[in-house]
A and B are shown apart, each in its own frame.
Chain A
């Protein structure tokens, strides 16, 4: 997993590291709980877990400012938690309950928060890419300095609408960061089997969009790259591409037997590149935190997640007349 730039770990504060640790752990524990609730039949349909990719959203959200927007695919739980959405509301949407962000009508793949400027959860691969550029279009049109993040996968990077969007975003200098979450697989198709060229960060070259590859398992490297991309966009230079080299530990969705890769491959990444272990190591070796302090964070995070699960199982199902609301404004 080669990264274009190495992170300079020297001047990172203990506080910042602790915050990254906590946020990533929150996503990890949340997703594990979601997997468990799925296994118990409390969550239905498709459920795509973000485990392994936590550093990407946590690093970029740490670089973003209030007002920036984000939009992503169906693998969206991590993005929502990282931008400050309430774990209770997210989990209750997963269980399809009234207390969920979409009143239970959207589910795992389709959640939104106007307040947090999270524009969804989209089930159609790559449909969020032009939408992300559209958010940026509005920013430019209104003269704000906000930047939008359009997250999409390595598989989505092959869809035609991505390139239509690249052209217009560059032509019109839209403040949009295209974040390619390259987790190596699109369902069962590895990058090599689906892409004529593997260097996804170069995909904007023909349109004049700068891009860089980033070690997406290193939250500090992600944050730094995010800062560079944001500065580029806020200065009015148009879009920017960040290819995050990352990895998903679980199957594509809950029902994917994942026969296309070996258990050893997954194990190797888990033991050598885990984004949470990485920060934990920095905290411990830099003597920024004691084992007890880290244990306390673990406990606190577990409690928040288990309260979210309780809320999500106790919140009632939506009232039946909700079937006919929100179809027209």
Chain B
């Protein structure tokens, strides 16, 4: 029976790709494992291998075609002995290989796109305004990925003491392609591939920082920084204090943090609250590409150990970034992402997506939310939160992490102590659920924080 070969998904987040090149032609015999085509995804060019053996009956999508959706038939494979007419039949319809229905089969859901796992909710992230940019500044659209790379490159050009080390940061150009081009520009002295030894290289970087260098340590993801957490907390964070101010660890620990898509419990965790607990660390978790860039540059220059929590799902998102020679954003300053009078929604990182989507939806119902992007978690701009709450008298916090001992819990306590008389309702903390991240698509959806939950929380504190 002739079967259709479908455009494959070649990464956890791929929805479409370019069929760059066919390596087989009509009439060729293929066996499983043979490379049939090269397909470009947003991150890389991948080889696509045959699963079944047979003869290529017909090529349905020309090479060079862009934007081919996953699961589109791209060729027809004939079994031994079949002739080309079977290819025509297959091409014209009938026996489709099964398409993915794992998403749509989930009927009990509240039917909102935004309740999909973040990675699968396609489309641009909401943009927010910028502050303190000189009049007449030009902007360019950049992905978070590019903004981070540029920030590191600019700082490495500025100071020889700055270097990058981590797994796959050099020759592989970064597991998530953040360090693209850096090895080429700065060489192997300053862009250093390490073995898989997080505790060891984090400690080596701390020692190098004691001795005056400015290391940037990339963790492939922050899940793996757990291997290194002793060096981060016991060595990097505490030495300035223990040495009576003689020496410290001016360095950046950076990498993706929080849930990606469908990677399960050991690879999906938000460490915002963990690191924010530690005196001696600064903790940053930006949302927009401009903030990623400006805060990364500030982090590299800061004389303290800085934990820079990135997000894989944001890496590919584009935002306006100012074209300035030296654009920095101060650590410890929150930003009003959207003005409003009825309620303050405080968030940071990917949480901003849910906060802004909720604010949009609420505006349609006449509730004007002020949305505050914390950007830095330690030091935290609590003044900005209090100021906003004094205006709105209500507050909802939004984060992806676990609910117990969360960032939102801390904000609630600050508001209770410093703005109690201004509160017209209890503060609500919207968080991820109190469970390890499940793998199953439907469960994952429910484990993550969702926009409808934020909307509901706002309605509750505004008594609507």
Where the two chains meet, the residues of A that have a C-beta atom closer than 8 Å to any C-beta of B are 32-33, 35-36, 38-42, 44-46, 51, 93, 95-97, 102-110, 122-126, 155-156, 158-160, 186-189, 193-195, 249-251, 254-260, 263, 270, 313, 317-318, 320, 322-324, 327
| Residues 421-462 (chain B) with a chain A CB within 8 angstroms | 433-436, 438-443, 446-447
Out of A97, A188, A255, which one reaches B46, CB within 8 Å?
A255
What is the minimal beta-carbon distance from B69 to any residue of chain A, in angstroms?
A: 11
The reply to whether A95 and B102 contact each other, CB–CB distance below 8 Å, is yes
What is the minimal beta-carbon distance from A97 to any residue of chain B, in angstroms?
A: 7
CA distance A96 to B264 in the complex (A): 10
Name the prevailing secondary structure of the B interface residues: loop
Size of the chain B interface, CB-CB below 8 angstroms: 64
The reply to whether B446 and A320 contact each other, CB–CB distance below 8 Å, is yes
CA distance A96 to B168 in the complex (A): 29
What is the minimal beta-carbon distance from B333 to any residue of chain A, in angstroms?
A: 35
CA distance A156 to B99 in the complex (A): 37
The reply to whether B9 and A104 contact each other, CB–CB distance below 8 Å, is no
Q: Which residues of B contact A105 (CB under 8 A)?
A: 265, 438-440, 443
Q: Does B65 contact A (CB under 8 A)?
A: no
Q: Which residues of B contact A324 (CB under 8 A)?
A: 433, 435
The reply to whether B12 and A96 contact each other, CB–CB distance below 8 Å, is no
The reply to whether A320 and B223 contact each other, CB–CB distance below 8 Å, is no
Out of A108, A188, A317, which one reaches B106, CB within 8 Å?
A317
The reply to whether A122 and B266 contact each other, CB–CB distance below 8 Å, is yes
CA distance A127 to B394 in the complex (A): 45
> In this complex, what residue of B is CB-closest to A249?
B33
CA distance A67 to B229 in the complex (A): 36
CA distance A177 to B261 in the complex (A): 35
Q: A42-B100, A105-B439, A187-B175 are in contact. Are A255 and B267 (CB under 8 A)?
A: no
Q: Does B139 contact A (CB under 8 A)?
A: no
Q: Which residues of B contact A323 (CB under 8 A)?
A: 433, 435, 438, 443, 446-447
Out of B168, B226, B436, which one reaches A187, CB within 8 Å?
B168
Q: A44-B12, A159-B227 are in contact. Are A188 and B168 (CB under 8 A)?
A: yes
CA distance A322 to B106 in the complex (A): 15
What is the minimal beta-carbon distance from B377 to any residue of chain A, in angstroms?
A: 25
The reply to whether B168 and A257 contact each other, CB–CB distance below 8 Å, is no
The reply to whether B99 and A45 contact each other, CB–CB distance below 8 Å, is no
Q: A158-B197, A194-B196, A257-B46 are in contact. Are A317 and B98 (CB under 8 A)?
A: no
Where the two chains meet, the residues of B that have a C-beta atom closer than 8 Å to any C-beta of A are 6, 8-12, 14, 32-33, 35, 41, 43-49, 51, 70-71, 97-100, 102, 105-106, 108, 167-168, 171-172, 175, 193, 195-197, 199-200, 223-224, 226-227, 260-267, 433-436, 438-443, 446-447
Q: A46-B12, A188-B171 are in contact. Are A255 and B195 (CB under 8 A)?
A: no
The reply to whether B266 and A35 contact each other, CB–CB distance below 8 Å, is no
The reply to whether B11 and A255 contact each other, CB–CB distance below 8 Å, is yes
The reply to whether B168 and A189 contact each other, CB–CB distance below 8 Å, is yes
Known: A32-B33, A110-B265. 20 other contacts (CB 8 A): A39-B48, A40-B6, A40-B8, A41-B71, A45-B262, A45-B439, A96-B262, A103-B440, A106-B264, A109-B263, A122-B266, A124-B224, A158-B197, A186-B195, A189-B167, A189-B168, A251-B46, A259-B172, A270-B33, A320-B443
> In this complex, what residue of A is CB-closest to B106?
A317
Out of B49, B200, B265, B443, which one reaches A322, CB within 8 Å?
B443
CA distance A125 to B196 in the complex (A): 8
CA distance A104 to B168 in the complex (A): 31
Q: Which residues of A contact B260 (CB under 8 A)?
A: 45
Determine which residue in A35, A107, A110 has the highest number of CB atoms from chain B within 10 A of its CB, and name it.
A107
Q: Which residues of B contact A123 (CB under 8 A)?
A: 223, 263-264, 266-267
The reply to whether A35 and B167 contact each other, CB–CB distance below 8 Å, is no
CA distance A95 to B102 in the complex (A): 9
Q: Which residues of B contact A107 (CB under 8 A)?
A: 262-264, 439-440
The reply to whether A44 and B262 contact each other, CB–CB distance below 8 Å, is yes
CA distance A41 to B267 in the complex (A): 19
Q: Which residues of B contact A102 (CB under 8 A)?
A: 439
Out of B47, B195, B439, B447, which one reaches A189, CB within 8 Å?
B195
